[in-house]
Structure 1
C-alpha cells in the first residue's frame, strides 16, 4: 500500500495555562538547541571531532537530572529530542555544504516553534480540540478534515502572539484519489 505525507496547518486557541506551557516548551527547545550547539562547537574546537545525535541525547538525560536545569523536565521530552535532531540535521547540512554553520536561536525571533512526534496516539483531534503532549486539549479552528495517521505536530507562535499547529499526516494513496469513499 502506497502512502503520502501531507501537511495541514490550523490556528489554535490555548487558554492562559496552555499558552504558558507552550511558551515554556518553546523556551526549553531553544535552550537545548543552543546549549548543545555550544557543546558541539567547543568539542569540535578542542578535539577536532563532532558529537553525534546519540551522544547529545545521552547528555540531555544528564542535563535534565541536574538541579540547575531540572526545569527541562517540565517540557515535552519529544520536543527536546526533536530540537537535538534539528541541530544534528543542521550540522549534517553544513558538512555536506548545503547550508552555513548552525546559528544560535534567538528568544526575540519573529516566530518560534517546536516539533513533537506522535507516540501512542498522544496527538489527536477530538471534536473541536487537539490533544498535544503535556499541554492537553487545545481549542482548534479546523478548516478542513483529513483521514490518516498524524506523524508529528509543529506548534508555532508568531510575533503577534497567535498560535498555530502544523500536522504531518500519513495518508493512503487511495484516500487521496477518492476522498469521498
Structure 2
C-alpha cells in the first residue's frame, strides 16, 4: 500500500485566519490536557478500570468534554482526534526508544492541525 501526502500553502482571509487560530488552539489544549492526564492520572486510571489510558479511553472522554464546552465542539472532530493520535504516537516513540518523553505544545511554536484527505476539497487554479 502506498501512502501519499500533499502539503498546500494557503492564503486565508482575516475570518479564516481567526478560525485557523481557534482550531490550532483547541488542538494544542487537547494535546496538553491529554498529556497531563496520562502523566498524572495514568496509573490511577489503570488501577480503577483495569485498562490502560490510551487513545481509545481519551477519545471517549473527549466526547464528554465536547458536550460541556461549545468552543471545543466548534472545532472539527477530526482535528481533535488527530491531536490525541499525535500524543499516542509520541508515547509509542518514547517507549520504543526513538524519541524523548513528550513535551507540552506551546502557543505560536508550530501551531498546526490536520484534516484527513476525504474532508478537504481542493480547487485547482492553474494547469
**TM-score normalised by L of structure 1:** 0.61
Report SS of the residue matched to 1:113: coil
8 Å CA contact 1:63, 1:70 repeated in 2:
no
Larger helix fraction of residues:
2
Residue 114 of structure 1: aligned partner: 113
Would you tell me which structure has more strand in proportion to its own residues? Answer: 1
CA apart distance, 1:7? 3.4
CA distance 1:57–1:47, change in 2 (3 Å): closer
Gaps of 5+ in 2: none
How many corresponding residue pairs?
Answer: 123
Give the TM-score normalised by structure 2: 0.85
Segments of structure 1 that go 5 or more residues without pairing to the other structure are 129-141, 146-181
- Hey, which bits of structure 1, 4+ residues long, moved more than 4 A? 47-50
- Please give the secondary structure, in 1, of the residue aligned with 2:122: strand
Q: Which entry has the higher C-alpha Rg, 1 or 2?
A: 1
Aligned CA RMSD, in angstroms, stands at 2.1
Give runs of aligned pairs for residues 1-80 of structure 1, distance below 5 A. 4-46=2-44, 50-66=52-68, 69-80=69-80
